[in-house]
Structure 1
Amino acid sequence: MFNRILAAVDGSKTSLRALDKAIELQRLLPEVEIFILCVYKHHSLFEASLSIGRPDDMDIPDKVLSEYAKEVVNHAKEFAKEHGATKVRGFVKAGRPSKVIVKFAQEKDADLIVVGTKGTNSDKDGMFLGSVSHRVASQAKCPVLVV
């Protein structure tokens, strides 16, 4: 049925609930491997230079966001292991989240993508799905479970 499940995380509560569903599936199918992916928005050098006054020791936005994404993935891996997951690998990528998630799922030959309904960038506009989960669900070549 499933061999590889991609759980997209962004540090939000809904992404951890989605990861929890991936873990539940792994308990039912112990051969399943879970790929945890956190995508951060890439900032060009132009975007990074838009600040009027910059301190000398200012970090480039990509570096800061990359480090945060690594922390999110490490936290998610710990969460997964604490909840009984066995085969778990973590990844960090830069780019537009929906596109990167779909592409990564294809590259890793994922059988299922699990995402939260809304992530950290969602506002409380009353919509059922956030933009990332909506785009992933409509563009993915494999099934998508939106939690």
Structure 2
Amino acid sequence: MYDDILIPTDGSETIAETLAHGLPIAESNDATVHSLYVVDSRMTAAATGETSTDLEHSLEAEGDDAVAAVEDAAEQRGLDTVSDVQKGTPAKTILEYADDHDIDLIVIGTRGKSPREKVTSLGSVSERVVDNASIPVFVVRDAGADA
């Protein structure tokens, strides 16, 4: 049913809970796990000069570590993996990656923001992915998030 599963990561602690749900699905379908980290171009655009370059390099290194963690967890279960670090707007880049790589399922974590937090941050990446995806999206709420 699912040949390719995308597990986007932002490098936060929520990935552990996301992997706890996403990897068994991949395992039971013998699916390839795609790991994606998006360097938010809005953050790097806001910085200037050398600060911009330093920030971009720092975020890329963080991304490399984040996708490596997903890759390691998937490979421990004997799953094939594909990892990528891209620049862009997170939700849009996740959706474009899914389209470009014929992804069958997106498994994405969320921190369970309050309505007030959602308003001030203009919504979450996971919400935007769910609202705009043409494929199934499995949203994993961080078990440690406040209700």
Displacement after TM superposition at 1:27 (Å): 2.0
1:40-59 to 2 correspondences below 5 Å: 40-42=39-41, 43-44=44-45, 47-49=46-48, 59=53
Structure 2, gaps ≥5 residues long: 141-147
Q: Distance in 2 between matches of 1:102 and 1:59?
A: 26
The answer for the alignment partner of 1:36 in structure 2 is: 35
Aligned residues: 134
Identity %: 29
Q: Runs of at least 4 residues of structure 1 off by over 4 A?
A: 126-130
Q: Deviations over 1:66-102 (max 9, x none)?
A: 11111111122122223x1421111111111100001
Higher helix share: 2
Match of 2:6 in 1: 6
Bigger strand share? 2
Equivalent-residue separation in structure 2 for 1:111 and 1:104 (angstroms): 12
Comparing both chains, which one has the higher relative contact order based on Cα–Cα distances under 8 Å and sequence gaps of 6 or more? 1
Q: Work out which of the residue numbers 114, 118, 136 in structure 1 matches 2:107.
A: 114
TM-score where L is the length of structure 2: 0.79
Q: What is the SS of the residue equivalent to 1:21? A: helix
Which entry has the higher C-alpha Rg, 1 or 2? 1
2:4 is aligned with 1:26: no
- Tell me, what secondary structure is at the counterpart of 1:94? strand
RMSD of aligned residue pairs (Cα, Å):
2.5
**Cα deviation, residue 11, structure 1:** 1.5
Corresponding position of 1:141: 134
Residues 106 and 5 of structure 1, relative CA distance in 2, 3 Å threshold: same
Which runs of no fewer than 5 residues in structure 1 stay unpaired? none
Distance 1:127 1:143 in 2: 27
